[in-house]
A and B are shown apart, each in its own frame.
Chain A
């Protein structure tokens, strides 16, 4: 079974600071990777996804993530955060051979951006 680790539980940044949230997974085979965002009181929304191809993936709202297979990592980055980025961020993994019923979410990273 796969697992996902997000080591940063709570990150506090000032506006315009750069962001990097860590995500590491463990699984012996090929995976599909996702980052979801959950704004306060709202549902999860997809930020970006990696299925194959270019390991540097660009998503919505200026976010990007890089898949480094050798490190089993899929870190989320944004060069300059805004107050509106305050939210909880979840990394998720699906084995390439499985459907969404096999998705595993990380425990989330709470990002707080201070104006």
Chain B
């Protein structure tokens, strides 16, 4: 009955590869997010997306792209992976107007070698 689930939990890959991280929420929330947590634990929002609007943090390279097949899923696709992409990526969701906070997934630790 996990609220926000991400797969895989760990992802090790080589530079230049393309990879995807999947995220699903069963909370019925209308907005989903991707965050990047770097080695210093700094959390930065990458994208927020609902069925109406995609908001992109302008500092995110265009090698990163969110893909949402439906309201309950927001996958993160990364092209041409670089060493600096190594981080923990968290998916989160929220419901507009409800006030409750972000619900986070357990994170995906991406290591690029």
Q: Which residues of A contact B (CB under 8 A)?
A: 34, 36, 38, 42-46, 49, 51, 88, 90, 99-101, 103, 105, 107-108, 110
Contacts and interface: CB of A to CB of B under 8 A. Distances in A.
A100 B57 CA distance: 13
15 contacts: A43-B4, A43-B105, A43-B106, A43-B107, A46-B102, A99-B31, A100-B33, A101-B31, A101-B55, A103-B45, A105-B43, A107-B40, A107-B41, A107-B42, A108-B42
B94 interface: yes
Interface of B: 4, 31, 33, 40-45, 48, 55, 90, 92, 94, 96, 99, 101-102, 104-107
A101 B41 contact: no
Given A44-B102, A107-B40, 4 more contacts: A100-B92, A100-B101, A101-B33, A101-B55
A13 to B, nearest CB: 19
Contacts of A49: 101
A51 B99 CA distance: 9
Contacts of B102: 44, 46, 100, 103
A-B pairs, 5 with minimum CB distance: A101-B48, A43-B104, A105-B43, A108-B41, A46-B101
The main secondary structure of chain B at its interface with chain A is strand
B104 A44 contact: yes
Nearest to B102: A100
Nearest to A101: B48
B48 A99 contact: yes
B22 to A, nearest CB: 15
A100 B31 contact: yes
Contact of B104 (A45, A88, A101, A110): A45
B33 to A, nearest CB: 7
Contacts of A38: 41
Contacts of B45: 101, 103
Contacts of A105: 42-44
A36 B102 CA distance: 10
